[in-house]
């Protein structure tokens, strides 16, 4: 079977792939994830996914390998919301999440045989305000600290997610249907 490398250290992405029967080799990469001036959320996640896939491919050095990479961000209140720096930053981010433009975007990139293809998936999220009384307790769980937008839909933040319009696994960190479609289009034999 062909080798699939996941250019990500995200345990959520790995678990999502394993959920659908794909068991990649984790090959985490490190890139600069700074937002460029004037960059849209869509362009941001696509650029980072592409950069991660290319860095992974360069590090692996096997043209026949498949290298999958992804990057997820949250956009609300007209801002790209990364991981909170501290509790005060988390509170600032959480105040933006009830915005009507709150969405989660994931860029997915697949590199194989010197070619790369990307997709961007968008999921709208209707988010309730996190009550002041709950904020410190939620922060102290550790769950928000390493998540774009400062929350995990698959964790305690589910209390505040009223609705989503689009792909649930995208909000967790990897849109599974679109990822499987991308792999199938490039003849990765994951359904064998």
Q: Which residues belong to the active site?
A: 71
Q: Where are the alpha helices (DSSP H) in the chain?
A: 11-19, 41-60, 87-96, 132-140, 168-172, 176-185
Contacts of 162 (CB under 8 A, 6+ apart): 126, 127, 128
Q: Which residues of 8-17 are buried (b: 16+ CB within 10 A; e: fewer)?
A: bebebbbebb
First to last CA, the chain: 9
3-state secondary structure of 102: coil
Counting every residue written for the chain, the total comes to: 192
Q: Report CA torsion sign: 162, 71, 150, 143.
A: positive
Answer yes or no: are the C-beta atoms of 7 and 69 closer than 8 Å: yes
* Separation of alpha carbons 76 and 185, rounded Å: 33
């Amino acid at each position: 079977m062909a080798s699939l490398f996941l250019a990500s250290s995200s345990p959520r992405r790995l678990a999502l792939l394993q959920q659908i029967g794909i068991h990649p080799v984790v090959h985490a990469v490190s890139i600069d994830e700074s937002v460029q001036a004037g960059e849209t959320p869509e362009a941001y996640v696509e650029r980072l996914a592409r950069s991660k896939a290319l860095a992974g491919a360069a590090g692996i050095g096997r043209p026949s390998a498949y290298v999958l990479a992804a990057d997820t961000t949250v956009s609300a209140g007209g801002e790209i919301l990364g991981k909170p720096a501290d509790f005060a930053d988390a509170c600032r981010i959480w105040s933006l999440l009830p915005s009507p433009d709150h969405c989660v975007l994931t860029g997915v990139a697949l590199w194989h045989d010197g070619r790369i293809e990307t997709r961007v998936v968008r999921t709208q999220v209707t988010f309730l305000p996190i009550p002041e009384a709950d904020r410190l307790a939620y922060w102290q769980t550790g769950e928000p600290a390493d998540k774009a937008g400062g929350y995990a839909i698959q964790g305690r933040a589910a209390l505040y997610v009223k609705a989503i319009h689009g792909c649930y696994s995208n909000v967790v960190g990897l849109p599974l249907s679109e990822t499987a479609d991308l792999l199938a289009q490039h003849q990765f034999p994951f359904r064998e």
